[in-house]
Amino acid sequence: MKTKRRSLLDIESLATAEITALLRLARRMNPAKPRPLLRKKRVALLFYEASTRTRVSFEFAAKALAATTSVIYAEASSIEKGESLLDTGNTLRALGADLIVLRHPAAGAPHLMARHLDIPVINAGDGMHEHPSQALLDAFTILRHKRNLRGLRVVIVGDIYHSRVARSNVHLLSKFGAQVTLCGPVEMAPDIAATLAPRVRVTRHFEEALRGADVIMMLRVQKERLAGRQIKVGEYAAGYQLTSERLRLARRDALVMHPGPIIRGMELTAEVADGPQSVILEQVRNGVAVRMAILASALGVAR
């Protein structure tokens, strides 16, 4: 049988066994101890949106597996007038790429590419849709501190509507039996968000959501989006900023997470970001091992 090569497009369509296998593989990956699993493989990192941590994380992961990497920044303007996404993909394929990591502002762009290309496509964030590698590294990080995800009370706070991180995490956590509470003002956490997956609820009341929480995931809140929805920064902070006082409502061993980049004083205080319950930097660190697992698994060299 041919070695299985497969894309990672979203969390929603993954089976729990596939997720478990990826997380297990990630535990065996150590960025400090390179494994030449992808020697002679070419990994193209195709970024249609600015990104530091995701891009560097994938790049380090590929290099730790001895792959050759190339980063391609596509100007946002080229989307409108330039080469089509499929043509770019076919060009990279013709140049010898064995795998494409794609970050794109349009939801479903990786799905399109995967449908028409015979090499794996890894979704590094597509519009407001999903960011599967982030959810995997978040689960990996949680499992470093909690025995399992079943029954965990996870609160995701902020601009759910625009967040691909939220969507991927909701799917992953729900698949493993966690209880997910989405929290934010109605413009950011509309009621319809509860239809994403089973056992998901939406609330506007941060304090209520925090009571008894095991994990608190703070999302980035963009000032422009607040302005667009006529929400004042001060008002938002008053209702939804994670402060030390509020954190006390959660379980004493609750984890504070954030996909970054964090804006101190906006969605959380510096005190909380740097506090003992924060695992924000650990998330970043774990990202490399998790992405090593994703790349190795996609190219069928490890399972």
Q: Which residues bind other proteins (CB under 8 A)?
A: 12-13, 79, 84-86, 104, 106-109, 111-112, 116, 126-130, 161, 164, 167, 190, 192-193, 195-196
Kindly write down the DSSP assignment for every residue of 72-120, as one continuous string: EEPPHHHHHHS--HHHHHHHHHHTT-SEEEEEESSTTHHHHHHHH-SS-
Whichever of 112 and 180 has its CB closer to other proteins, that residue is: 112
- Shortest Å, Cβ 106 to other proteins: 4
- Shortest Å, Cβ 72 to other proteins: 17
229: how many CB neighbours lie within 10 A of its CB? 14
Q: Which residue has the tokens 């990826």?
A: 22
Distance CA 275, CA 116 (A): 46
Whichever of 165 and 213 has its CB closer to other proteins, that residue is: 165
Q: Which residue has the tokens 């966690």?
A: 178
- Shortest Å, Cβ 113 to other proteins: 9
- Shortest Å, Cβ 161 to other proteins: 8
Whichever of 109 and 156 has its CB closer to other proteins, that residue is: 109
Whichever of 7 and 57 has its CB closer to other proteins, that residue is: 7
Whichever of 72 and 79 has its CB closer to other proteins, that residue is: 79
Report yes or no: 294 and 54 within 8 Å, Cβ to Cβ: no
- Shortest Å, Cβ 128 to other proteins: 3
Alpha-helix residue ranges (DSSP H) falling in the chain: 16-27, 53-64, 76-81, 85-94, 109-116, 132-145, 164-175, 206-210, 223-228, 233-240, 244-247, 270-273, 280-298
